[in-house]
Amino acid sequence: MQNRLTDPFELKKYISISESEEKDFDRLEKFFSFGVTPYYLSLIEKENPNCPIRLQVVPRNDELQHAEYEKLDPLAEDENMPVKGLTHRYPDRALWYLSHHCAVFCRFCTRKRKVGSSFETPISEDRENALSYLRSHSEIKEVILSGGDPLSLSDDRLIEIIRSLKNISHINHIRIHTRYPVTLPFRITKEFSEKLKEFFPIFLVTHFNHSRECTDDAKKAIENLVKHGGVIVLNQSVLLKGINDSIDELAKLNYSLVNMGVKPYYLHQCDEVFGSKHFKVSIEKGIELMKQLRGFHSGITIPNYVIDLTGGGGKIPLPTDYLKKTDTLSYEFENFKGKKFNILK
Ligand SMILES: *Cc1c(COP(=O)(O)O)cnc(C)c1O
Ligand code: SF4
């Protein structure tokens, strides 16, 4: 973390940066900080302006274009916040922002309004208030530790929080959302993983977007979690233009994840956050891609394609229409190869 690159002007020491790219770096930083670990930087192809890793971290002037439908807080998380740092949108689960720091600042981040800002760093009083809320709301069965990135906290702090949650009898299980296995896999040590074992089952949802992120180091991190921590590891990806919006890449990514022991959970339609239009893939295309996955590839490799509705509507699945017709007697289905089947009611 100490060796992170946080000045975008230093990028040109490591990868080729054009003058036109560089000219907006100052303005871009006002909207959203820049930051990358040496590890993640090393995955960038130096001379390729379209490298899928580069596109995720190097600021682009496109971010300064704000489409009229884009929002600062697209999921209205700050409105659904009964106590500071906790979003309680769905009846039985709550999302808790433990840190607003991340190893790498992803250019498409939904929370760019606060991620990387030191003003937003939760203090211990915020944590106590959130814990009291969770204790007094017995309908909450799951707490999702999120951020920023919750693994930006020290092992001890994180374990202390998990222990407090485990002591609340109505909490069924705990989930951690983190991108460290992708951006700084060395954070996931054997020692850290072993500390999680006591709290089984811990579900950890990570965030790989491209098969090139599935490196030996990432694989080691996952192995630590699974073998030493008994952690169940899932992945959510964002469908991103020019990064993973092709059938070949999506299939490759999902197979690489399963090969590492990670179950693809969600494929997200990109949230409508300020300055994200250049990452946006149409829903029609997303549905078409999902259609080309299902049936042709192992069901274990297939995530659910979802959109989180702008305005705080929550996540809904984006369905592929296999059910073509229904009448009083039968259903007409189309299978993955386009062949029709009638099934009697
Ligand atoms: C995404 C999200 C969750 C988790 O939803 P799942 O469908 O259970 O993965 C919970 N709370 C909020 C506010 C969310 O945005
Ligand atoms: S790791 Fe997650 S929270 Fe952090 S910048 Fe990337 S998308 Fe945003």
DSSP per-residue codes, 195-259: HHHTT--EEEEE---SGGG--HHHHHHHHIIIIIH--EEEEEEE--TTTT-SHHHHHHHHHHHHH
310 in a structural domain:
yes
Q: Which residues are catalytic?
A: 89-90, 93, 102, 106, 109, 111, 271, 308, 315
Instruction: Determine whether the shortest distance from the Cβ of 106 to ligand 2 is under 6 A.
Output: yes
For residue 133, is it within any domain?
yes
Nearest atom, ligand 1, residue 95 CA: 11
- Neighbouring residues of 40: CB distance < 8 A, sequence distance ≥ 6: 53, 57, 103, 104, 182, 183, 184
The response to whether residue 293 sits with its C-beta less than 6 Å from ligand 2 reads no
Cis peptide before 201, with omega less than 30 degrees from 0?
A: yes
CATH of the domain at 218: 3.20.20.70
Query: Quick one: pLDDT at residue 80?
Result: 87
| Tokens 């930051």 belong to residue | 35
Per-residue pLDDT of the chain (345 residues), as tens digits, is 999 999 999 999 999 999 999 999 999 988 899 999 999 999 999 999 999 999 999 999 999 999 999 999 999 998 889 999 999 999 999 999 999 999 999 999 999 998 987 667 788 899 999 999 999 999 999 999 999 999 999 999 999 999 999 999 999 999 999 999 999 999 999 999 999 999 999 999 999 999 999 999 999 999 999 999 999 999 999 999 999 999 999 999 999 999 999 999 999 999 999 999 999 999 999 999 999 999 999 999 999 999 999 999 999 999 889 999 999 999 999 999 999 999 999
Q: Where are any strands of DSSP class E within the chain?
A: 86-90, 93-97, 142-146, 173-177, 202-206, 232-238, 263-268, 304-309, 314-317, 323-326, 330-334, 340-344
DSSP 299: G
Tell me the C-alpha distance between 182 and 231, whole Å. Answer: 16
Pocket test for ligand 1, best of 89, 175, 268, 304 (most atoms within 8 A of CB): 89
Nearest residue (CA) to ligand 2, atom 1: 179
The total number of structural domains that make up the chain: 1
Kindly state the helix (H) or strand (E) to which residue 135 belongs, with its residue range.
helix 124-136
Whether 139 is in a domain gets the answer yes
Question: What's the sign of the alpha-carbon dihedral 162, 165, 166, 171?
Answer: negative
Does the CA dihedral 180-183-185-191 come out positive or negative?
A: negative
- Name the closest-CA residue to atom 12, ligand 1: 95
Euclidean distance between CA atoms 341 and 200, whole angstroms: 44
The answer as to whether 297 is a domain residue is yes
Do the domain assignments include residue 331? no
Query: What domain range includes position 19?
Result: 8-323
Q: For residue 78, tell me if it sits in a domain.
A: yes
Q: Which ligand lies nearest the alpha carbon of 112?
A: 2
Evaluate whether residue 341 is within a structural domain.
no
* Ligand 2 neighbour 109 (Cβ under 6 A): yes
102 Cβ below 6 A of ligand 2: yes
Q: Is the CB of 146 under 6 A from ligand 1?
A: no
- Asked whether residue 265 is assigned to any structural domain, the reply reads yes
**Nearest ligand to residue 205 Cα:** 1
